[in-house]
Amino acid sequence: MTARVLDGRAVAQQIYREVADALEQRMAEGGSRPKLATILVGDDPASAQYVRLKQRNAEAVGIESEDHRLPAHTTTDELLALVRDLNADESISGILIQQPTPKQIDMQQIVIELDPAKDVDGFHPINAGKLALGIPGGIEPATPSGIVELLRRSGIVIEGANAVVVGRSNLVGKPTALLLLKRNATVTLCHTRTKDLAGHTRSADILVAAAGRAGLIGKDMVKPGAVVVDVGTNRVGGRQVGDLGGGVEEVAGWLTPNPGGVGPMTRAMLIKNTYEAEVRRRP
């Protein structure tokens, strides 16, 4: 068996086209144009590249972008001041703070300060709480919603499936489990300290690897024909690898490449979130 590819790049392009069409119609009807404010603290080359990609994605669909670069020695209070200014700026639809930030930044405090209506990453406690409680109107986090959208648009049946999420982070693991549960999967949330992890993963029709540990999931831990989503981001030998070991493609029925699977979906859902944030603010 050779796994079929879950092509995040192709599905992301579908989403960009839909947002571009919706925005074009909105502008023709006299609506406001969304604007995304990006914040980068420090000069990490990888983070700078991610910000450039997000800005290009926004501008390609007709969303304006506003770039804010802060030095690596920026304090929490200085970043808070910028966030408050952007919260109050009526021209800004969404605010994106590129992570990771330098160690002296208290990101918990920053996220709490964000206007939840402009929190296009979906990290604010109000947005996270709405997701957990099933209350509509919140902003869903970009990576987890990108995973679910990739599955849905690839024809993967989520309802009734046994789904196992390996990884319990607030950014990916927990919200992914909630979004799968929302779509009527039976969900097991595991992590690196789970006893008999392989026993859980081998039961999964849908397996999401999001622990951030290279090689954690071997081919003997995958149910034949399963849908496997690799969200792990690890640096090994100077290149990005996911959480899967070798040979998983020989067992799985569907598999995301890494890179090129979930990453493009994250950016696409961020752009969609920005557009929808503006629509909610100014119907």
Residue 106: helix, strand or coil by DSSP? Answer: coil
Which one of 115, 119, 121, 230 is the catalytic residue?
Answer: 121
Check if 98 is active-site.
yes
| Residue labelled with tokens 């999001």 | 210
Which one of 7, 35, 54, 223 is the catalytic residue?
Answer: 54
Check if 54 is active-site.
yes
Cα 197 from Cα 188, distance rounded (Å) = 11
Half-sphere exposure of 124 (CA within 13 A, CB side): 18
Looking at this protein, which amino acid is placed at residue 228?
V
Which one of 7, 35, 55, 98 is the catalytic residue?
Answer: 98
- What does the DSSP assignment read for 153-219? HTT---TT-EEEEE---TTTHHHHHHHHHHTT-EEEEE-TT-TTHHHHHTT-SEEEE-S--TT-B-G
Question: Catalytic residue positions?
Answer: 54, 98, 121
